[in-house]
């Protein structure tokens, strides 16, 4: 398995000072690892998706207070320009850090509680020590933990650190465009954590913002704070009548798998003249950081609609109300609730329908990307789309295309209101729709209606024109008998064949809903879509001690190692039931000297973390039968799949669990983040890894991949990786899983490691056996 940096070490930069004095950090290096997927909600992994940074490190002295190895840090730098010293100025760095093995409790909601104070102090001391030994140490003043919330796998703390730095340094930082500020922030944090001598940490991305805001100052000196938490099903009310103070803040929190919905019902007394000092602002964070503003109201007409709904991208939101002290007649009434976090995007095959931005008509959350593919149910049909509403953040002045938030239909980006004649368009048989929101400022979003049509078809929509004057139900083919034609009740028909994109229930009914299986909703009348759902979940619990190497053991419990006597590990495989493993057909091709096709030579090891581990938690099974796909074609690696029946059933445990088999209709839209795991070579032509490796890869557009591989990609293959290279499966990973999450937080076996040109080369992604294409064959042979 190859990760993004084949050497697994990259150099770290330090912040350049205006005098050009680079710190000596260039020689130091750190190891970059991939965080697991976001989609495994509650699996302790989500923060990677939110472009935050995960640092896992070891600090012995830290253990006593915060017994942990793993910390997530988001750092945002805010530079405040103060005028009382000509030569020096304050710099604030704000962010959040996640401590996996601590639990959020109610008393941490109260900044005056004993628990809050001691926890905050531990973290503050920790930061002080980190900074003091770093190149920023000479400017460092202090760190303050301002709030806590429930994290993905523990406790999240929101902090800011203050620095007193030379004015010219501050000025030059402020001049940088936001993208570069971000870049510097991440390098700085990397540097800080690396200088602390910590080796084993995970880094994804970081955020940074430099601003002239004085909000920190206001907040620190005079904030009246309300710390609120609510569980799903309750509304918590926020009210403020005739405020006497000049700054109020409400820190809103919900459980970690939820997002905050804020409903502002009444807002009076926000006057036009005083936008700077008098406004209501909502932030997608627990600190008022300028690059986390979801929306702000001030000035005349700012308060047009009677009720506004906002949504956060994670489980916290901050609402601040800044007032002129003279303005005592203001009234604010709002409430907030916990709503489940939704996954946006998907693949729809439908005659007509609607599509909207996430949580529409609530404001969409910041920092989100969704992609949909809509397809007409039958070839020969086209799609027509009508944009009924579009209210999203407009592009920056002077920008040639939408650069902040956008709705993209068939490659064309939209970000402002459309005139009546530009709302309606016709597209081909299928259309790709993408929605992007940046970290700042959100609006109501968009609402689209679509329908499939054909210029030639005189049958009613949803009826198939058979050409002989007959119109049939769409699920039937023209050859089907006539007992169910146009006028008969569709409930009396039993559908003979589903379209390849439709999910087929056990009773034969077809569902047009995408990915209905194991999503927690009963979609088939017979409940068969929710029947085989004891799969695809690891047993790692929240708030367990996750530290050091062993913490990750158990994360991919379906991973098996196929070994052969003296040859040791040969291939990977995935547990799909207590008797069956899935692997790649090419693992069982005989060589001149070794008979790989004979079942008795093989042993399957399950629950392994390191390859030669001996523990009673590891399960070993002999193989009774190997079923290689009858159409396996070794010349082009088509149908590269094999089923292995174990001699005796394996017992599921914390370390051994089956992965879910995706049904034929399940779609893994390209761009989806998945994980490939295995003990394969850590670079081309090198040795096997000792410890199970995971690599974060994205599903690649099949037509792009087919071009890169000169038309070698069949419909039984799927490509995943990173087109820039650097991350991939490699020799020894074959047969192992490419796991992707879906609704219901389960991992699905999307692919089987099959082939690739070299490993991790640029424009040569990994090629996997596409499991959805072989689902029926697997089911037939294992049941
Ligand atoms: N065929 C290889 C094996 O036997 C796996 C190749 C995967 N290669 C890749 N670049 N993804 O282990």
Kindly report, residue by residue over 320-345, the tens digit of the pLDDT.
Answer: 888 765 555 677 889 999 988 776 77
Q: Is any ligand 1 atom within 6 A of the Cβ of residue 640?
A: no
Within 10 A of 357 (CB to CB), how many other CB atoms are there? Answer: 29
pLDDT at 180: 67
Cα 553 to the chain's mean position, in Å? 22
Sign of the Cα pseudo-torsion (188, 193, 194, 200, in order): negative
CA of 709 from ligand 1 middle (Å) equals: 15
Overall average pLDDT of the 618-635 stretch = 94
Does 76 score more than 50 pLDDT? no
Q: What is the pLDDT of residues 743-759, one digit of tens each?
A: 667 899 999 999 999 89
Task: Look over the chain and give the mean of its residue pLDDT values, rounded to a whole number.
Answer: 76
Q: Is any ligand 1 atom within 6 A of the Cβ of residue 766?
A: yes
pLDDT at 181: 64
Entry field: residues in the chain: 783
Q: What is the pLDDT of residues 78-97, one digit of tens each?
A: 444 334 445 777 777 778 87
Q: What percent of the chain has pLDDT over 70?
A: 72
Q: Is residue 135 flagged as an active site residue? A: no
Task: Specify the ligand 1 atom closest to the Cα of 761.
Answer: 10
CA of 758 from ligand 1 middle (Å) equals: 8
For a ligand 1 pocket test, name from 634, 725, 733, 763 the mutation site with the most ligand atoms within 8 angstroms of its C-beta: 733
Q: Is any ligand 1 atom within 6 A of the Cβ of residue 732?
A: yes
Q: Is any ligand 1 atom within 6 A of the Cβ of residue 673?
A: no
Using CA atoms, how far apart are residues 783 and 775, in angstroms rounded to an integer? 12
Using CA atoms, how far apart are residues 75 and 95, in angstroms rounded to an integer? 4
What residues contact 301, with CB distance under 8 A and at least 6 apart? none
Q: Is any ligand 1 atom within 6 A of the Cβ of residue 756?
A: yes
CA of 686 from ligand 1 middle (Å) equals: 13
pLDDT at 42: 27
For a ligand 1 pocket test, name from 754, 761, 762 the mutation site with the most ligand atoms within 8 angstroms of its C-beta: 754
DSSP alpha helix (H) spans, 133-177:
167-175
Q: Is any ligand 1 atom within 6 A of the Cβ of residue 516?
A: no
Q: Is residue 569 flagged as an active site residue? A: no
pLDDT at 544: 28
Report the nearest-CA residue for atom 2 of ligand 1. Answer: 731
Report the nearest-CA residue for atom 9 of ligand 1. Answer: 756
Q: What is the pLDDT of residues 177-191, one digit of tens each?
A: 666 666 666 666 666
What's the angle, vertex CA 620, arms to CA 616 and CA 623, rounded to 5? 170
Does 308 score more than 70 pLDDT? yes
Distances (CA, A) of 678 to 138, 227, 297, 559, 569: 45, 45, 52, 8, 11
Higher pLDDT, 497 or 15: 497
Give the N- to C-terminal CA distance of the chain in Å, as an integer.
Answer: 32
CA of 755 from ligand 1 middle (Å) equals: 4
pLDDT at 33: 24
Q: Is any ligand 1 atom within 6 A of the Cβ of residue 733?
A: yes
Does 452 score more than 80 pLDDT? yes
- Among the listed residues 529, 640, 728, 733, the single catalytic one is 640
Task: Specify the ligand 1 atom closest to the Cα of 571.
Answer: 12
Q: Is any ligand 1 atom within 6 A of the Cβ of residue 730?
A: yes
Q: Is residue 403 flagged as an active site residue? A: no
Most confident of 164-168, 237-241, 754-758: 754-758
Confidence (pTM): 0.51
């Amino acid at each position: 398995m190859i990760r993004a940096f084949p050497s697994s070490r990259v150099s770290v930069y330090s912040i350049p000072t205006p005098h050009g004095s680079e710190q000596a950090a260039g020689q130091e290096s750190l190891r970059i690892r991939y965080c697991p997927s976001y989609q495994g909600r509650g699996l302790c992994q989500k923060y990677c998706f939110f472009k935050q940074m995960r640092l896992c490190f070891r600090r012995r002295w830290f253990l006593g207070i915060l017994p942990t190895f793993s910390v997530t840090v988001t750092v945002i730098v805010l530079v405040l320009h103060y005028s009382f010293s000509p030569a020096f100025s304050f710099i604030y760095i704000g962010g959040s850090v996640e401590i996996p093995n601590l639990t959020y409790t109610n008393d941490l909601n109260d900044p005056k509680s004993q628990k809050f104070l001691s926890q905050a102090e531990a973290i503050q001391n920790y930061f002080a020590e980190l900074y003091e030994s770093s190149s920023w140490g000479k400017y460092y003043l202090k760190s303050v933990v301002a709030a806590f919330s429930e994290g993905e796998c523990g406790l999240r703390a929101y902090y800011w650190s203050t620095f007193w730095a030379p004015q010219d340094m501050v000025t030059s930082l402020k001049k940088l465009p936001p993208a570069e500020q971000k870049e510097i922030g991440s390098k700085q944090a990397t540097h800080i954590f690396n200088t602390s001598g910590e080796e084993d940490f995970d880094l994804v991305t970081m955020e940074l913002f430099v601003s002239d805001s004085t909000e920190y100052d206001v907040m620190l000196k005079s904030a009246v704070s309300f710390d609120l938490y609510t569980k799903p099903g309750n509304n918590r009310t926020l009210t403020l009548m005739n405020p006497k103070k000049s700054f109020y803040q409400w820190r809103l929190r919900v459980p970690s798998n939820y997002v905050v919905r804020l409903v502002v019902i009444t807002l009076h007394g926000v006057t036009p003249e005083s936008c700077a000092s008098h406004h209501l602002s909502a932030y997608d964070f627990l600190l008022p950081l300028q690059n986390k503003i979801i929306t702000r109201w001030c000035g005349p007409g700012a308060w047009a609609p009677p009720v506004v709904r906002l949504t956060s991208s994670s489980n916290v939101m901050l609402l601040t109300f800044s007032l002129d002290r003279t303005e005592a007649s203001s009234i604010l009434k709002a409430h907030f609730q916990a709503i489940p976090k939704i996954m946006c995007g998907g693949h729809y095959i439908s005659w007509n329908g609607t599509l909207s931005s996430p949580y529409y008509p609530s404001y969409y959350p910041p920092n989100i990307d969704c992609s949909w593919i809509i397809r007409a149910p039958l070839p020969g049909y086209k799609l027509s789309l009508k944009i009924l509403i579009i209210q999203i953040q407009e592009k920056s002045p002077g920008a040639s295309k939408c650069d902040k938030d956008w709705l993209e239909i068939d490659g064309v980006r939209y970000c402002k209101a459309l005139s009546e004649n530009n709302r309606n368009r016709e597209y081909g048989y299928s259309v790709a729709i993408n929605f992007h929101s940046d970290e700042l400022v959100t609006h109501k979003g968009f609402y689209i209606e679509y329908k499939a049509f054909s210029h030639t078809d005189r049958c009613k929509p949803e009826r198939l024109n058979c050409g002989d004057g007959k119109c049939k139900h769409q699920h039937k083919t023209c050859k089907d008998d006539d007992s169910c034609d146009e006028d008969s009740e569709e409930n009396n028909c039993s559908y003979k064949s589903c379209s390849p994109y439709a999910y087929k229930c056990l009773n034969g009914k077809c569902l047009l809903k995408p990915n209905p299986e194991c999503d927690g909703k009963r979609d088939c009348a017979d409940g068969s879509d929710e029947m085989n759902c004891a799969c695809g979940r690891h047993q790692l619990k929240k708030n367990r001690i996750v530290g050091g190497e062993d913490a990750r053991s158990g994360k991919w419990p379906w991973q098996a190692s196929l070994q052969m006597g003296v040859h040791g590990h040969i291939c990977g495989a995935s547990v799909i039931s207590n008797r069956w493993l899935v692997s790649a057909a090419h693992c069982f091709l005989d060589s001149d000297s070794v008979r790989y096709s004979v079942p008795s030579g093989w042993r399957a090891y399950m629950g392994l973390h390191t390859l030669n581990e001996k523990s009673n938690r590891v399960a070993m099974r002999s193989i009774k039968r190997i079923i290689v796909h009858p159409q396996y074609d070794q010349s082009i690696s088509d149908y590269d799949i094999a089923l292995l029946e174990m001699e005796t059933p394996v017992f599921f445990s914390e370390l051994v669990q089956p992965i879910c088999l995706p049904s034929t209709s399940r779609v893994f839209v390209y761009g989806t983040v998945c994980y490939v795991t295995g003990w394969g070579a850590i670079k081309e032509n090198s040795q096997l890894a000792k410890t199970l490796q995971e690599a974060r890869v994205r599903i690649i557009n099949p037509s792009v991949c087919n071009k890169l591989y000169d038309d070698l990609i069949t419909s039984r293959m799927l490509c995943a990786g990173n087109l820039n290279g650097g991350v991939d499966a490699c020799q020894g990973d074959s047969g192992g899983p490419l796991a992707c999450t879906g609704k219901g937080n389960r991992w699905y076996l999307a692919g089987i490691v099959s082939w690739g040109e070299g490993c991790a080369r640029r424009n040569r992604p990994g090629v996997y056996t596409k499991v959805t294409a072989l689902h029926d064959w697997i089911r037939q042979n294992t049941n």
